[in-house]
């Protein structure tokens, strides 16, 4: 085989290697980009699920708080009414007592 043919074969082989290396690099970049895209998608799905779970727990907690608040306000209202009623009942007796004491002091 002559030198020119051998050099041509070497150049052809080098060109094939360069093409194979370029194709492999392109494939690597494509796979890397696909992997990043999938990782981002999975991360977004997980984040959405976490947000949904957190929102659900927050809603449940708010409902429990509102329920407890309602019970406490109702109890407080009943106690307040009872105290006001008791005070109204005692007001008459207190007024009589104060007037009696005033009259006794005035008579003395």
Tell me the per-residue pLDDT of 85-108, one tens digit each, with 9 for 90 and over: 888 888 888 878 888 887 777 776
Question: Chain centroid to CA 79: how far?
Answer: 37
Looking at the chain, how many residues does it have? Answer: 108
Task: Give, in order, the Cα–Cα distances in Å from 64 to each of 50, 53, 73.
Answer: 21, 17, 14
Answer yes or no: pTM beyond 0.75.
no
Q: What is the DSSP letter of 72?
A: H
Give the helix, strand, coil percentages of the chain, each rounded to 5: 95, 0, 5
C-beta contacts of 52-55 below 8 A and 24+ residues apart: none
Collect the ranges in the chain with pLDDT lower than 50. Answer: none
The burial of 5, by beta-carbon neighbours within 10 Å (0-12 exposed, 13-18 middle, 19 or more buried), is given as exposed
């Amino acid at each position: 085989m002559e030198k020119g043919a051998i050099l041509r074969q070497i150049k052809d082989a080098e060109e094939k290697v360069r093409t194979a290396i370029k194709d492999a690099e392109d494939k690597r970049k494509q796979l890397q980009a696909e992997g990043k895209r999938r990782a981002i998608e999975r991360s977004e799905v997980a984040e959405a699920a976490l947000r949904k779970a957190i929102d659900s727990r927050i809603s449940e907690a708010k409902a429990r708080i509102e329920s407890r608040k309602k019970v406490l306000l109702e109890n407080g209202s009943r106690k307040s009414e009872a105290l006001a009623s008791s005070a109204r009942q005692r007001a008459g007796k207190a007024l009589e007592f104060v007037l009696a004491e005033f009259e006794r002091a005035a008579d003395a």
